[in-house]
Structure formats: structure tokens, C-alpha cells
Amino acid sequence: MRPPRAAIVTLAVIVLAALAAPVITPYNPAAQPDIVADKNLSPSRAHPFGTDQYSRDVFSRIVYGGRTSLSIAGLSVLVALLIGTSVGAVAGYAGGRADRWLMRGVDAALSVPRLLLVLVLAAAFGQMSAAGLVIVLGLTGWPGMSRIVRAQVREVAALDYVLAARALGIPPLRVLLRHVLPAVMPQVLVAATLGVATVIPLEAGLSFLGLGVPAPVPSWGGILLDGYEQRLRAWWLLVFPSAAIVVTVIAVNVVGERLRESLDPRLRPPV
């Protein structure tokens, strides 16, 4: 595989920054020191990314926002992965009626735009905590994952070495867990990576609509909402969180696509 060095380095920086947030941020992201004097300051040495309408330091908010966005994205993809793999593996391996019915359910779920499902859940449960968001995003994400897993499991299950394992009398669950799933994992990993790249904008979008993590917790989408409300008065409220999201998503996408390329040589650029 052509290692995407730039992307990996970028991601490492972002993740480390998120982990080290309390250490590297000069201000408390929720602190509103001087609403009158320090409101909407453009970027300066004291505030590299400026301040927002409540005089909060934008740089600190973005770093902490990264924490929020990354952890929510990562955890929700994990949830989707766990449920999706289970359902997809069972459907793909068992085949027959179980497969048909499970996939009908999955197709039904996939017919509804994910955003709408999330909105319905938001309408039903009102303001959600971060944990609630993880569950909502995970629950709306597993159908897509299960399709990929099912397709892969079907392909692998038809391979000779799996047939050999079955012919040896190895019980089906063991065959599935020890022989089929490990072969399926690489493609699933690709899907999970690209899934993270999908969830980050979705979570940001929800925060932008005011439906994401509740107000005091900083999030990239939330900062964008502040920017939208300030329109042209504070371009730094639009540019920096956008850049943060875009850079992160591109990095994740590049890593995911390189992984995919390494599994299918046709996609590589010519030598």
C-alpha cells in the first residue's frame, strides 16, 4: 500500500491535540471573561483564532470541540460496527430465510435518509447528551455496515478453505468466527474508516442545527452555528471550524481510500 504519510501525520496531530486539550489550550473553552470588551475579536496573538460573541477563545473551543467530535464519531462507528457485523455475518453466512428477512429490514432502514432518522429520534427524545448521540448515530449507521459485511461474508464463505473447514466438521459458529470473519475484516475496516468520515460531518451538521451536543460543550458544528448567526461579522467563526472539519475528514478519507486501494489493485494509479 502507498502509505498516506501526510494523512496519517495529520490525523495523529489532531488526535493528540484532542487528547492533550487541557494542556495545550491557553483558555477555558467555556469561560466568558469579558463579554463586552473581548467579544468577537479577530485573530490575534492573544487569541490565534479570535473570540466568539461570548468572548470565548475560539482556538480552545476548537481543540475541545475536536475531542467531542472525534470521540462521538469513533464511538458511534464502533457501535455501528458491532451491530452491523453481527447482523451482516449472520445474514451472509446463514443465508436462506434468515438472510432474506434480515436484509429486507436493512434495505428498509437504508431507504430512509439517515439524517431523517436521526431527526426523528431527536424529535422523540429531545436534547441528547453525547452518549445519546453516540447511540443514535450508531443505531442509524449499522444497516449500511451490515450490507458490506454480508457481501464480504458471502464471498469468503464460498471460498474453498471455508468449505474445507466445514467439511472437517468444525461447528458453524467457530467457522464463522475463526475462519470467515478474519478474512472479512480488512474490507470492514475500510468501511469503518470511511464511516468515520461520514459521521463527523453528520454530527457537525446536527450541532449546527442545534440538535447536537448541548450548548456549553464545544463542538465544531456549534461554533459554525455561532458563525452563521454572526454572518459576516466574524469570519473566523466560520473558517476555522470548517478547516478543522475538512482537514480531519480529508485525512480520514485518504487513509480509508488507500486501505481500499491496497485491497483492490485496479484502483491504483498507473505506475
Catalog residues that contact other proteins under the rule CB under 8 A.
104-105, 107-108, 110-117, 119-126, 197, 200-202, 204-205, 208-211, 224, 227-228, 231-232, 235, 238, 242, 245-246, 249-250, 253-254, 257, 266-267, 269-271
Cβ proximity to other proteins, 30 vs 43, nearer residue: 43
Cβ proximity to other proteins, 101 vs 161, nearer residue: 101
Cβ proximity to other proteins, 74 vs 205, nearer residue: 205
Cβ proximity to other proteins, 186 vs 205, nearer residue: 205
Element (H, E) at 200: helix 181-208
Q: Secondary structure of the chain in the HEC alphabet?
A: CCCCHHHHHHHHHHHHHHHCHHHHCCCCCCCCCCCCCCCCCCCCCCCCCCECCCCCEHHHHHHHHHHHHHHHHHHHHHHHHHHHHHHHHHHHHHCHHHHHHHHHHHHHHHHCCHHHHHHHHHHHHCCCCHHHHHHHHHHHHHHHHHHHHHHHHHHHHCCHHHHHHHHCCCCHHHHHHHHHHHHHHHHHHHHHHHHHHHHHHHHHHHHHCCCCCCCCCCCHHHHHHHHHHHHHHCCHHHHHHHHHHHHHHHHHHHHHHHHHHHHCHHHCCCC
Q: Smallest distance, Å, CB 159 to other proteins?
A: 22
Alpha helices in 95-129 (DSSP H): 96-111, 114-125
Q: Smallest distance, Å, CB 168 to other proteins?
A: 34
Cβ proximity to other proteins, 21 vs 200, nearer residue: 200
Q: Smallest distance, Å, CB 71 to other proteins?
A: 18
Q: Smallest distance, Å, CB 162 to other proteins?
A: 26
Cβ proximity to other proteins, 180 vs 202, nearer residue: 202
Cβ proximity to other proteins, 13 vs 112, nearer residue: 112
Distance CA 109, CA 1 (A): 34
